[in-house]
Structure 1
Amino acid sequence: MSDTVLDRFLRYVVIDTQSDPTSDAQPSTEKQKDLGRLLTAELLALGLADAHLDEHGNVYATIPRNTSKDVPVICFCSHMDTAPDFTGTNVRPQILRNYQGCDITLTGDTSQVIRVASHPQLNKQIGNDIVTTDGMTLLGADDKAGVAEIMTAAAHLMANPQIKHGTIKILFTTDEEIGRGADKVDLAKLGARFAYTLDGSTVGEIENETFSADGVVIEITGVAMHPGYAKGKMENAIKAVSDIVARLPRDIAPETTDGRQGFIHPVDISGSMESAKLQLIVRDFTEAGLKEKEALLEKITREVMATYPRSSHSLTVKHQYRNMKEVLDRHPEIMDNLEEAVRRVGLEPVRHSIRGGTDGSRLSFMGLPCPNIYTGGHAYHSPLEWVSVQDMEKAVETIVALVQVWEERAA
């Protein structure tokens, strides 16, 4: 079995692990367990005797401590599923050795081109080796790069007992891409105090902040009537939800915001004249900003529905996840130790906010504080996805340095 992060990555990405948001099962697709079984076998072969795959497709394993110091138990976590946004079946990874700065035309679909102008991070990859797809599928670097990096670091630590560390837990989850990655994680069994997800992007960027997120469902019951005799009687539920969407502020939308700005985003409309449903997501980095946007949405809905006096409506807000910074700020050593590890591998740490969420968001509020570390992948969820081999190697080095920092700073 090869020990290189590239060989592991190439082995993992050809296994189709796409999750399915329409499924109520956990995991949402049984094929995610195909990768889970392989990882479990590899972990056992490395000497992690407790490695196992549970009924929900999650993989657990332990690297035993080899120090007498009282080091907190830390966990490294990545997700095995790939996004539903683009197919992950029959992935054919391509390796471009010694990249020299050109646009990359993908071989299976030549209309797919990774352009330097659109992917400026390529300018930092001169001389490196780039892995892409052939353009017909996504690559799965999100998050099989993270999986490969954790596995490679585990192999390195098991083969080099002179590297001192505390107990290390490994966790590979299913269904992260459809928002359920932490749903069936058994934290008591995991037994870690702190964790790090390997699910980021640009090397050097470490993420301690996510959006806070809610979902909103507005359901409208209109007044149905034969259209030939509807004057003064019909109230069309489709028109009512359309009026609500039309009144959403254009400057509080995903397509007009960036940085630390939040948004209101309609994601689905369904229904008929008699009844209709509008589904939205609301995002902000602060709880106050989230509530402000939801109050605005309620105000717009009330004003629109006042023009449909015989119709009725309901507006339901569903909690999704919260900004993990709120939890991480209570444990500054988690980020301090990570920043030291990043410096030790020759990078300058940059704290970064995620305009989205990760398993770390949920895990942090479940009691496992969990920031996010870079993997080197880019252009996720698309056929233009790519990853640098050297950046993956840097992520492996970071994991190894991080466990040493925790050990050195322990009592």
Structure 2
Amino acid sequence: MDILNYSSYQNEGELLKVKEFSEIAKKSLLDKDMRAILIKPSKVIKNSENFLFEDKVVQLGSIFVKHTFLNETDVTTFLFDDEENFEEYFLKSFYSSLKYSFLDIPFGGSTLGLIVPKDLSLSNEKVKRKLSSLLVKNFSDILNEQNYLKIKEDDREKKDFIIKLIENIDKPRISKKFKFLLKNPLRKKIIKEKYEALWLKSFVKYFYKKDRVRVIIDSINLRSFNFLKEILNDGYFVVIGFGEKNYSYYSPKGIDCKDIAFIENRETNEKCIDYVDLLKKETDLFLEFGGENNFNETMAKIVKCGIYCEFEDLSTSFQSVKFLKNRNIIYLPSLLLDCVDEIFDYFEVIERKREEVMSVDEIELRMETYVNFVISYFDSFLENQWKVFESVLLRSFENYRKKFSLVYG
């Protein structure tokens, strides 16, 4: 599929996002050839494995998508899906590349999607063996690109399963290499949510001059729940709401530790309210942790917040961003707020080269340096608070233009 052939898109939201990238790229110094290289993948490799299951032939698949050959080293994200979604895989690798580029981290993004039909269980031994075989088929494409591997934090429950798939590989050299590239020594020592909270706090204070801010968190999942528990310890944030369509919790004085047990077990009490009513509550920050296009135009018309904070790539529909802007709500995109994972990817590579765990003091010093760098960049180049997304993209594209010049002159 040609990512610039707009007629080939199945998902209108993803099509609109790519069109927007293209339009912003035109405002940069990128020429037409450079834009074409950046806004489409440089490598797409598909593999499949067939086997007999309950008297019928079923197929497992994999897709490896590399964003661009201009990145010498990629960090490949594992994804599981029940159907092929090439556009999503490309956009996820593209977003990762843009974040690394924005922060001057010398990596790029790529994605390995493992496709398992809905009616198949991951616990089935045949499924496990065939998935292990698919990993072997992808081995040369991933590792010959000098890639590192990671599993997104909200998919950490799948990490043990992937490790078992790797252990099932009957080629010791490949199995050992895969295991090494999945090591995450630093994340075992610290709580990443602490640094995500500090990252958010730094940029909210930059745009919003308040001593305390009220917060509503949208979507209940492992990542959002851990983030909630983390910011409860910070007096700057007062979380007044946490919810999604099937369960919403509201406390005007602020959710506290006693509320956590109710939320975790989804128990009902007098603080549980209708989801739409929660969206209508006035707040300073609205944090979105949902999946693709979870935040839609209807929600954008009724939320009452000063700043909308996107914590998951692709979670905000294209049209809803326009409604937010028309209502004078500041939009902080995932390209800015969901960067901590990419920063930690870099820290972990530094650790591997040193063969020692980075100290907490060094982590905090490096994180502070990144925050100061971004704020300094905004001070110099951000035209107004409505153009954060465009400003981040333009810097990312400019850094790629420099890479392109080094390669081609």
**TM value normalised by structure 1:** 0.21
Tell me which structure has the larger Cα radius of gyration: 1
- Of Structure 1 and Structure 2, the greater helix share is in 2
Higher relative contact order (CA 8 A, sep 6+): 1
- Of Structure 1 and Structure 2, the greater strand share is in 1
